[in-house]
Chains A and B, each alone.
Chain A
Amino acid sequence: MIEVKDLSFSYTGKRMILKDISLKIEPGEWIALLGHNGSGKSTFAKLLTGLLEPASGSVEIDGIKLEEDAVYEIRKKIGIVFQNPDNQFVGVTVRDDIAFGMENLSVPREKMLEKIHFYAEKVGMAAFLDKEPANLSGGQKQRVAIAGILAMETKIMIFDEATSMLDPYAREELLGYIRQLHEEGITIIMITHDIEEAMLADRFVIFRDGALFADDLKERLLVNPELFRLASLDLPAQIRLANDLQDTGRLKAVKEFLWRSSFGK
């Protein structure tokens, strides 16, 4: 369970990047965190993982308050995968890289080797363990980064635009892992600009100019095009088409079909 209370953040002490965010996330939820560029989504993710310190307010994860001396405990509970995998490589080989997070959690060596193999296999990178991360393609790097986070076996995972640099195939694959993690009971927080991708989540949390603009089950929000317009977000193409069709005769059935099937993806 994540409990965020009145969370604010500013780099300079003047302009607030995030303003008074309060929300609760229950175990096993799948949330899409949406908002225009600069709305504060990534800052929020960094605050949740202790990569940034709030100006005011608090974050509590499983009853542990996120403070300087609790960061280590919190990192066992929450993992984050970033957009650009180049920013998260530290090791000389893929193996070192997957190990890095576990080393910080003092996982015993035997266990670690086992997990490296298991998770490298899971993301299809087992054949690359001795390679240098620098020589991998973008999609491969992202998979290694994900294996490193998966290996930490945290109960909460944040994906910060993790698919935006991937091609459709690699993207589908990653979304497949995320779905699998969700089925295993992991809490998923997915930051994305892609509304079609966001449709996989159950609940939408929408930021606008650093404030919490909307927070509800997606089906309750999607019926309100004005809300999406104000948040500078697109509706899924399928719903836009449904909205664009006249409301007469057999077209009603098409509209209804488009709505229904846009949720069934």
Chain B
Amino acid sequence: MAIQFREVSYHYPSGGVNFYQAITDISLEIAPKDEFICLVGETGSGKSTLAQHMNALIFPTSGAVEIFGSKITSKRNKKIKYNDLRKHVGLVFQFPEYQLFEETVEKDIMFGPLNFKVPHDEAKLLAEKAIRQVGLDETYLKRNPFNLSGGEKKRVSIAGILALDPSILVLDEPTSGLDPAGKKQLMELFAKIHRDTGKTTIVITHDMDLVYEYATRVLVLHEGGLVFDGVPEALFRRDDLQSFSLDYPETIRIMKLVKTEFDLDIDIYKQTVTEAAREIERVMLG
């Protein structure tokens, strides 16, 4: 296993400043390859806290997180090179575009590799590769990041993480602030990187339509606890999603409406509108 949580809890010292939401007694395993995981849950459920445990940005209060063989507990261990773990697990924060600061896109992408003592020439090559991976061409490398659109800035900041060639990619609400077309493009980009490289990808999102369309596995956090870990369809077959402040995907919601209104024996678990339309036609037209 690439990442293993064993009874991990995170709480703040009482009276301290609470930058992170608490999580309680979380155990789970994440494979290094081929998983496309969506992490969902209401605001304050601990999603970002959980994500930041995955590359040792924060340490558990109790329990342990094992990241590629290094065991992270509440106590710092001098033998563990925490920075190196961050190379294995690339974390892209929400609104990463706010963290661009260099005068060219190239310098911004090279910043991470140079920080990890990658020679300058090699870092340059990594930047060229990374910019293509996020679907932009090399002319972008010489541009000033501040003159890019919101979607392009997001791509550049993601390229900065990809340039480190992490084994696992963790993205905290990557699509927020984008219009539907931008959202779709970005999710397609993650799906493509996932297909091409097999890298396990973990996306934090509120958007159940995206979960249904892309995830192979979904993790649900509720009030700091892990309340579901399985395939999306199994989640959407449950009738208690409201108690976790979660919505059903639009297609399922609409198919339920149609099923009830026309008393049809249709399979409501269709991922896309087109599949839903064909299902209704199949049953009604025979």
Interface residues of A (CB under 8 A from B): 35-38, 83-84, 132, 134-135, 137-140, 161, 164-170, 193, 195-196, 232-234, 237-238, 240-241, 244-246, 248-251, 253-254, 257-258, 261
| CB of B251 closer than 8 Å to a CB of A | yes
A-B contact pairs, 20 of them (CB 8 A): A35-B179, A37-B149, A135-B19, A139-B42, A140-B43, A164-B177, A165-B173, A166-B43, A166-B206, A167-B42, A169-B42, A193-B178, A232-B180, A238-B254, A244-B274, A246-B281, A246-B285, A251-B280, A254-B258, A261-B257
Q: Which residue in chain B gives the minimum CB-CB distance to A137?
A: B44
**Contacting pair B277 A245 (CB below 8 A):** yes
| CB of B139 closer than 8 Å to a CB of A | no
Interface residues of B (CB under 8 A from A): 17-19, 21, 41-44, 95, 149-151, 173, 176-182, 206, 209, 245-247, 250-251, 254, 257-258, 261-262, 273-274, 276-277, 280-281, 284-285
Which of B182, B261, B280 meets A37, CB within 8 Å?
B182
Q: Which residue in chain A gives the minimum CB-CB distance to B247?
A: A168
Known: A38-B150, A196-B250. A240 touches B273 (CB 8 A): yes
**A224: shortest Cβ distance to chain B, in Å?**
17
A201-B211 Cα distance, complex, nearest whole Å: 27
Which of B19, B180, B276 meets A234, CB within 8 Å?
B180
**Contacting pair B284 A254 (CB below 8 A):** yes
**B238: shortest Cβ distance to chain A, in Å?**
15
**A58: shortest Cβ distance to chain B, in Å?**
29
A91-B151 Cα distance, complex, nearest whole Å: 31
Contact partners of A140 in chain B: CB under 8 A: 43-44
**A91: shortest Cβ distance to chain B, in Å?**
16
**Contacting pair A244 B176 (CB below 8 A):** no
**Contacting pair B273 A241 (CB below 8 A):** yes
A to B contact number (C-beta, < 8 Å): 104
**Contacting pair B176 A237 (CB below 8 A):** no
A134-B261 Cα distance, complex, nearest whole Å: 47
**A169: shortest Cβ distance to chain B, in Å?**
4
A140-B43 Cα distance, complex, nearest whole Å: 9
**B56: shortest Cβ distance to chain A, in Å?**
23
**B254: shortest Cβ distance to chain A, in Å?**
5
Q: Which residue in chain B gives the minimum CB-CB distance to A232?
A: B181
A215-B247 Cα distance, complex, nearest whole Å: 31
**A81: shortest Cβ distance to chain B, in Å?**
15
A214-B17 Cα distance, complex, nearest whole Å: 48
Q: Which residue in chain B gives the minimum CB-CB distance to A135?
A: B18
A36-B176 Cα distance, complex, nearest whole Å: 14
**Contacting pair A250 B43 (CB below 8 A):** no
A38-B28 Cα distance, complex, nearest whole Å: 40
**Contacting pair B151 A169 (CB below 8 A):** no
Known: A161-B177, A168-B206, A238-B254. 4 other contacts (CB 8 A): A137-B44, A241-B277, A244-B276, A258-B254
Contact partners of A168 in chain B: CB under 8 A: 42, 206, 245-247
**Contacting pair A244 B261 (CB below 8 A):** no
Of all A-B residue pairs in the complex, the 9 with the closest CB atoms, nearest first, are A169-B245, A244-B277, A139-B43, A137-B44, A237-B250, A167-B42, A168-B247, A167-B43, A37-B179
Q: Which residue in chain A gives the minimum CB-CB distance to B12?
A: A135
Which of A84, A132, A169, A244 meets B273, CB within 8 Å?
A244
Q: Which of B177, B250, B273, B274 has the most chain A CB atoms closer than 10 A to its own CB? A: B273
A124-B177 Cα distance, complex, nearest whole Å: 25
**Contacting pair B254 A245 (CB below 8 A):** no
Contact partners of B182 in chain A: CB under 8 A: 36-37
A168-B249 Cα distance, complex, nearest whole Å: 12
Contact partners of B21 in chain A: CB under 8 A: 137
Contact partners of B177 in chain A: CB under 8 A: 83, 161, 164
**Contacting pair A258 B258 (CB below 8 A):** yes
Contact partners of A244 in chain B: CB under 8 A: 273-274, 276-277
